[in-house]
């Protein structure tokens, strides 16, 4: 085994020359449970035994064993496509809170991660989960919670950072796909979305060249088949079909001190300019950094954001 490092993205992940990958964050997992604080119950399901693709489902306990239909949120976790899982305490706690606050059913997708499973695998896994969800349309799918309590005519996508990128790309697939998904996508919530572009925009002009190179090389490691930072997968401005984005409404959350702030604002303006017919809302958290709400969920801005997302969905 060689200890020679090929790429060092500390404090997140290291890539060694012998092909090994060392994840420095997002390795902890917690089991599904009834969360006493929020009254939300969770369970894990396997979507594909062949690939190991799985998801964690959340439901307010009060809805179990009733025929009450709740909006369904499909959530894609962040972590640069490389770290974190749907089972990490960070996302488990956040989605317990969101399911309770919005009174919704949540499916949190545990897509396979780069670099062992390079993009577009995470996108394809996420699409496979959407197809699995749509198998519950006639209330005969494998999950009793989805059969009984998920309203597939009120579906939302959401994610943070790389997960927001996945949410956008899934909404694009819904808008463009000839393959009928038997779900109705109402809207998407993109929190601090991971987008980029070859040309700097706004305050990005002042960013150090080294940081831009770091961002590009990270993207290339996650998506080796990419054409670069102007790939439509990471730069929606380069997508000629942007106006066909699925859904009727969009909430983009940005943070004032986030290195991705400009991209979030740019995306929201772009969607409007391209003639997408839906409603676009932007929520900016002042004085906050990237995914602050996950690391400091009890702060004033995180609570305000949770309320705004909840009202947007419900």
Query: Smallest Cα–Cα separation from 89: which of 10, 26, 25?
Result: 26
- Measured between alpha carbons, how far is 123 from 173 in angstroms, rounded to an integer? 10
Work out the number of other CB atoms within 10 angstroms of the CB of residue 301.
18
Work out the number of other CB atoms within 10 angstroms of the CB of residue 210.
8
> What are the distances in angstroms from CA 34 to CA 77, 92, 147, 196, 206?
21, 11, 20, 39, 47
Q: Which residue shows structure tokens 């972590």?
A: 79
Among 126, 148, 161, 268, the one annotated catalytic = 161
Q: Is 10 a catalytic residue?
A: no
Query: Smallest Cα–Cα separation from 163: which of 84, 216, 47, 251?
Result: 84
Cα torsion 47, 19, 90, 226: sign = negative
* DSSP-based three-state secondary structure for 223: coil
Please report which residue ranges of the chain form alpha helices under DSSP H. 89-102, 121-134, 144-149, 162-176, 209-222, 261-273, 292-295, 300-313
- List active site positions: 161
């Amino acid at each position: 085994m060689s200890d020679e490092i090929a790429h060092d993205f500390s404090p997140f992940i290291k890539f060694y020359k012998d092909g090994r990958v060392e994840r420095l964050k997002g390795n902890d997992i917690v089991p599904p449970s009834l969360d006493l604080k929020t009254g939300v119950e969770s369970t894990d399901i396997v979507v594909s035994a062949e690939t190991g693709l799985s998801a964690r489902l959340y439901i307010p306990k009060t809805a179990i064993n009733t025929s009450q239909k709740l909006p369904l949120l499909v959530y894609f976790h962040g972590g640069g496509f490389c770290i974190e899982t749907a089972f990490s305490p960070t996302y488990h706690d956040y989605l317990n809170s969101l399911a309770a606050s919005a009174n919704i059913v949540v499916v949190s997708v545990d897509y396979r991660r780069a670099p062992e499973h390079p993009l577009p695998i995470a996108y394809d896994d996420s699409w496979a989960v959407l197809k699995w969800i749509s198998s519950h349309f006639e209330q005969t799918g494998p999950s009793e919670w989805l059969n009984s309590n998920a309203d597939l005519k009120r579906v939302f996508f959401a994610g943070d950072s790389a997960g927001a990128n996945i949410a956008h790309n899934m909404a694009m697939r819904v808008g463009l796909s000839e393959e009928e998904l038997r779900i109705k996508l109402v809207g998407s919530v993109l929190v601090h979305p991971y987008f980029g572009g070859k040309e700097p925009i706004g305050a990005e002009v002042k960013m150090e060249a080294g940081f831009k190179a770091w961002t590009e090389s990270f993207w290339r490691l996650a998506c080796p088949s990419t054409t670069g930072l102007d790939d439509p997968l990471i730069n929606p401005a380069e997508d000629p079909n942007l106006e066909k984005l699925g859904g009727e409404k969009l909430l983009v959350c940005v943070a004032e001190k986030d290195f991705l702030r400009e991209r979030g604002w740019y995306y929201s303006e772009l969607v409007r300019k391209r003639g997408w017919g839906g409603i676009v809302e932007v929520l900016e958290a002042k004085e906050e950094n990237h995914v602050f709400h996950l690391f400091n969920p009890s702060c004033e801005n995180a609570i305000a954001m949770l309320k705004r997302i909840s009202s947007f969905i419900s």
